[in-house]
Amino acid sequence: MSTQPINNGIPVIDLSPNNLEPGTPTWVRTREDVRRAMEELGCFQAIYDTKAAEEIHSDILAAAEELFNLPVETKSQKLSDKPYFGYFGQHPSFPLYESLPVDHPATVEGSRGFTDAMWPSGNLKFWPKQPGILKGGSGDRPIGHENVD
Protein backbone atom coordinates (compact mmCIF):
# COMPACT_ATOMS: atom_id res chain seq x y z
CA MET A 1 0.00 0.00 0.00
CA SER A 2 1.28 3.47 -0.85
CA THR A 3 -0.34 5.45 1.98
CA GLN A 4 -0.09 5.09 5.74
CA PRO A 5 -1.58 7.63 8.19
CA ILE A 6 0.70 9.03 10.85
CA ASN A 7 -0.20 10.31 14.33
CA ASN A 8 -1.02 13.87 13.34
CA GLY A 9 -3.38 12.77 10.56
CA ILE A 10 -1.15 13.69 7.62
CA PRO A 11 -0.96 10.80 5.15
CA VAL A 12 2.44 9.36 4.29
CA ILE A 13 2.69 8.44 0.60
CA ASP A 14 5.44 6.26 -0.80
CA LEU A 15 6.76 7.86 -4.00
CA SER A 16 9.50 5.34 -4.62
CA PRO A 17 10.09 4.36 -8.26
CA ASN A 18 8.20 1.05 -7.97
CA ASN A 19 5.04 3.03 -7.08
CA LEU A 20 5.44 5.41 -10.02
CA GLU A 21 5.48 3.03 -12.99
CA PRO A 22 2.65 4.45 -15.16
CA GLY A 23 -0.32 2.19 -15.69
CA THR A 24 0.38 -0.29 -12.89
CA PRO A 25 -2.18 -0.85 -10.13
CA THR A 26 0.31 0.54 -7.58
CA TRP A 27 0.76 3.70 -9.68
CA VAL A 28 -3.01 4.20 -9.98
CA ARG A 29 -3.41 3.75 -6.20
CA THR A 30 -0.53 6.14 -5.47
CA ARG A 31 -1.93 8.75 -7.87
CA GLU A 32 -5.33 8.53 -6.17
CA ASP A 33 -3.73 8.78 -2.71
CA VAL A 34 -1.92 11.98 -3.76
CA ARG A 35 -5.09 13.46 -5.28
CA ARG A 36 -7.18 12.62 -2.20
CA ALA A 37 -4.57 14.01 0.21
CA MET A 38 -4.29 17.27 -1.73
CA GLU A 39 -8.07 17.67 -2.04
CA GLU A 40 -8.83 16.82 1.59
CA LEU A 41 -5.81 18.23 3.46
CA GLY A 42 -3.76 20.18 0.94
CA CYS A 43 -0.64 18.23 1.89
CA PHE A 44 0.98 14.87 2.47
CA GLN A 45 4.35 13.57 3.59
CA ALA A 46 6.24 11.94 0.73
CA ILE A 47 8.77 9.19 1.26
CA TYR A 48 11.14 8.02 -1.47
CA ASP A 49 14.71 6.92 -2.03
CA THR A 50 17.45 9.33 -0.88
CA LYS A 51 18.85 10.21 -4.31
CA ALA A 52 15.38 11.01 -5.68
CA ALA A 53 14.55 12.92 -2.50
CA GLU A 54 17.57 15.19 -2.85
CA GLU A 55 16.85 15.79 -6.53
CA ILE A 56 13.14 16.52 -5.98
CA HIS A 57 13.89 18.75 -2.98
CA SER A 58 16.44 20.72 -4.96
CA ASP A 59 14.14 21.04 -7.99
CA ILE A 60 11.17 22.19 -5.90
CA LEU A 61 13.20 24.78 -4.00
CA ALA A 62 14.75 26.12 -7.22
CA ALA A 63 11.34 26.34 -8.91
CA ALA A 64 9.76 28.05 -5.88
CA GLU A 65 12.62 30.53 -5.71
CA GLU A 66 12.21 31.29 -9.41
CA LEU A 67 8.44 31.77 -8.97
CA PHE A 68 8.71 34.09 -5.98
CA ASN A 69 11.53 36.07 -7.60
CA LEU A 70 9.23 37.10 -10.45
CA PRO A 71 8.33 40.82 -10.52
CA VAL A 72 5.36 41.78 -8.33
CA GLU A 73 3.55 42.97 -11.48
CA THR A 74 3.75 39.46 -12.92
CA LYS A 75 2.65 37.76 -9.69
CA SER A 76 -0.20 40.26 -9.23
CA GLN A 77 -2.01 39.40 -12.46
CA LYS A 78 -5.71 38.72 -12.02
CA LEU A 79 -5.95 35.04 -12.91
CA SER A 80 -9.29 34.23 -11.30
CA ASP A 81 -12.74 35.72 -10.86
CA LYS A 82 -12.93 34.28 -7.35
CA PRO A 83 -13.00 36.96 -4.65
CA TYR A 84 -9.83 37.21 -2.52
CA PHE A 85 -8.14 34.65 -4.78
CA GLY A 86 -5.01 36.31 -6.01
CA TYR A 87 -1.49 37.28 -5.13
CA PHE A 88 -0.87 38.41 -1.57
CA GLY A 89 2.50 39.80 -0.61
CA GLN A 90 4.57 42.91 -0.06
CA HIS A 91 2.43 43.75 2.98
CA PRO A 92 4.14 45.65 5.83
CA SER A 93 2.39 43.53 8.48
CA PHE A 94 3.61 40.31 6.83
CA PRO A 95 6.95 41.16 5.21
CA LEU A 96 8.05 37.55 4.64
CA TYR A 97 4.70 36.15 3.48
CA GLU A 98 3.63 35.67 -0.12
CA SER A 99 0.96 33.47 -1.63
CA LEU A 100 0.08 32.69 -5.23
CA PRO A 101 -3.07 30.58 -5.54
CA VAL A 102 -3.59 28.50 -8.66
CA ASP A 103 -7.15 28.37 -9.97
CA HIS A 104 -8.09 24.73 -10.64
CA PRO A 105 -4.59 23.30 -10.00
CA ALA A 106 -5.68 19.70 -10.53
CA THR A 107 -6.71 20.33 -14.14
CA VAL A 108 -4.57 20.57 -17.24
CA GLU A 109 -6.08 23.94 -18.05
CA GLY A 110 -5.54 25.37 -14.56
CA SER A 111 -1.92 24.34 -14.15
CA ARG A 112 -1.03 25.21 -17.73
CA GLY A 113 -2.85 28.56 -17.48
CA PHE A 114 -0.92 29.51 -14.35
CA THR A 115 2.41 28.57 -15.93
CA ASP A 116 1.61 30.47 -19.13
CA ALA A 117 0.55 33.58 -17.17
CA MET A 118 3.71 33.61 -15.07
CA TRP A 119 6.06 32.69 -17.95
CA PRO A 120 4.52 33.58 -21.33
CA SER A 121 7.58 32.10 -23.07
CA GLY A 122 7.17 28.84 -21.14
CA ASN A 123 8.93 27.22 -18.18
CA LEU A 124 9.60 23.49 -18.19
CA LYS A 125 10.42 23.52 -14.46
CA PHE A 126 6.75 24.22 -13.83
CA TRP A 127 5.50 21.92 -16.54
CA PRO A 128 6.21 18.16 -16.47
CA LYS A 129 9.02 16.90 -18.65
CA GLN A 130 7.26 13.52 -18.65
CA PRO A 131 3.61 14.48 -19.05
CA GLY A 132 2.39 10.88 -19.12
CA ILE A 133 3.28 10.44 -15.44
CA LEU A 134 0.79 13.00 -14.18
CA LYS A 135 -2.92 12.79 -14.78
CA GLY A 136 -5.38 15.64 -14.50
CA GLY A 137 -9.05 15.85 -13.60
CA SER A 138 -10.67 12.49 -14.20
CA GLY A 139 -7.30 10.82 -14.69
CA ASP A 140 -7.74 10.20 -18.41
CA ARG A 141 -5.55 13.03 -19.76
CA PRO A 142 -1.89 13.71 -19.13
CA ILE A 143 -0.89 17.09 -17.77
CA GLY A 144 1.32 18.72 -20.35
CA HIS A 145 1.61 18.19 -24.05
CA GLU A 146 3.46 15.89 -26.37
CA ASN A 147 6.26 18.28 -27.38
CA VAL A 148 7.83 19.31 -24.07
CA ASP A 149 11.42 18.33 -24.84
Question: CA-CA distances (angstroms) from residue 6 to 13, 29, 41, 86?
Answer: 10, 18, 13, 33
Q: Say if CB 56 and CB 64 are below 8 A apart.
A: no
- Whether this model's pTM surpasses 0.85: no
Of 107, 101, 106, which is closest to residue 81 (Cα–Cα)? Answer: 101
Q: How many Å apart are CA 8 and CA 116, to the nearest integer? A: 37
pLDDT in tens, the chain (149 residues): 455 555 478 899 988 877 788 888 998 999 999 999 888 888 888 887 777 678 878 888 888 899 999 999 999 988 888 888 889 998 999 999 999 888 888 787 888 888 889 998 888 777 654 444 444 433 333 333 333 33
